[in-house]
Amino acid sequence: MNRLPRIIVNCGLTVIVLVASAFESSSCNAQQPTPAETATAKPAGAEKKTEPTEKTAWVTLQGNWKTCQFGGDGDVTINDGVIKLEYGDPLTGVRWGGPFDGKKSEDADTASDAQAGESQPLPRDNYEVRWECRRDKGFDFLCAFTFPVAEQHASLVMGGWGGGITGISSIDGRDASDNETTMFKNYDDKKWYKARVRVETEKITVWIDGKEMFDQPRKDHEFDIRFEMDPCTPLGIANFECDSQIRNIQIRRLDPTEIAPSKKDEK
C-alpha cells in the first residue's frame, strides 16, 4: 500500500498532515480482513484439539507381551518396560497375551496374569490406549499399533510407505495410505513420539504429541487390518524394516460420561 508522506515542515502544514493521516487510516481500515477472512487464512490444523482429560485410571501393560512370529522377525528384547524391536524381514512385533472382554487369554495363565497385575480383561470398545515410540534406524514405519474396535480390529500406522504416511489401516478395505485418515508426517530418528488412540462407539480419535490428527466416524464403516498384521491381534505392535522402541504402553476404560452420545440418543 502506498502511503502519503508525513513530513512536517512547519505549523502551517498541520492541516495537510491531519488530512493525510485521516486518509491513511481510512485506507488501512478498508483493507482489514473480515473475521471470516481471518479464519479462512489460518493454517491447516490450527484448530486441532488437544488431548482430553480423563476420569478413569490408566493401567500399564507390562509382563505379558509375546513375540508375534511373523517369519523373518528381528530380535525382541524387553528391559525396564522398554520394548526393542530390531530390523525384521520385513516385520518384527509383539502382542498382548492377556484376556480381553468376552474372551479369555489363549496363551497366558492365571499366575502370569496376576504377576503382571493384569488379571482383569482388557476392553474392546469405549477405551483409550497410549504409548511412546521411536525409530532408531531404518526407513519405514516405526510403529503399527493394532487395537480392537469391538469385534473388529484396526492398526494405527506411523511412518509407513517409505516413512511419511500416518493413518488407520484399514477402513472399508482401504489402507492407511488411501482413506479418510491418510496424512503426511515425518518422524525423526531417535526421537520419542507420544501416540494416543480413543475408541468410542461412534468414532476413533487419534492424537500424536498431544495434537489431534483425525476423528474417524465408525457408523457405516468396516474396520479391518492387513493380513500381515494378524499375529498382532487383538492388541499388538509391529515395525517394518527398522529398529524401533516402544514404552509406557497404557490403557483405560472410558467413564460413561466421557463417551460421546450416539445420534439416536441425541434426538
DSSP conformational letter for 250: E
Lowest mean pLDDT among 109-118, 164-173, 255-264: 109-118
The pLDDT > 70 percentage for the chain reads: 72
Average pLDDT for 64-78: 97
Residue 58 has pLDDT above 60, yes or no: yes
- Tell me the pTM: 0.75
Buried b (16+ CB within 10 A) or exposed e, 22-60: eeeeeeeeeeeeeeeeeeeeeeeeeeeeebeeeeeeebe
Residue 231 has pLDDT above 50, yes or no: yes
CATH class of 59-256: mainly beta
pLDDT for residue 89 = 97
The pLDDT tens digits for 177-219 are 999 999 999 999 999 999 999 999 999 999 999 999 999 999 9
The pLDDT > 90 percentage for the chain reads: 67
What gap in Å lies between CA 197 and CA 220, rounded to an integer?
Answer: 20
The pLDDT tens digits for 16-31 are 333 344 434 444 444 4
Average pLDDT for 33-53: 44
Extents of the domains making up the chain: 11-39, 59-256
Residue 153 has pLDDT above 90, yes or no: yes
Three cell numbers written together for 88 = 525384521
Residue 41 has pLDDT above 70, yes or no: no
Across 15-29, 44-58, 117-131, 240-254, the highest mean pLDDT is recorded for 240-254
Average pLDDT for 90-99: 96
Average pLDDT for 58-65: 94
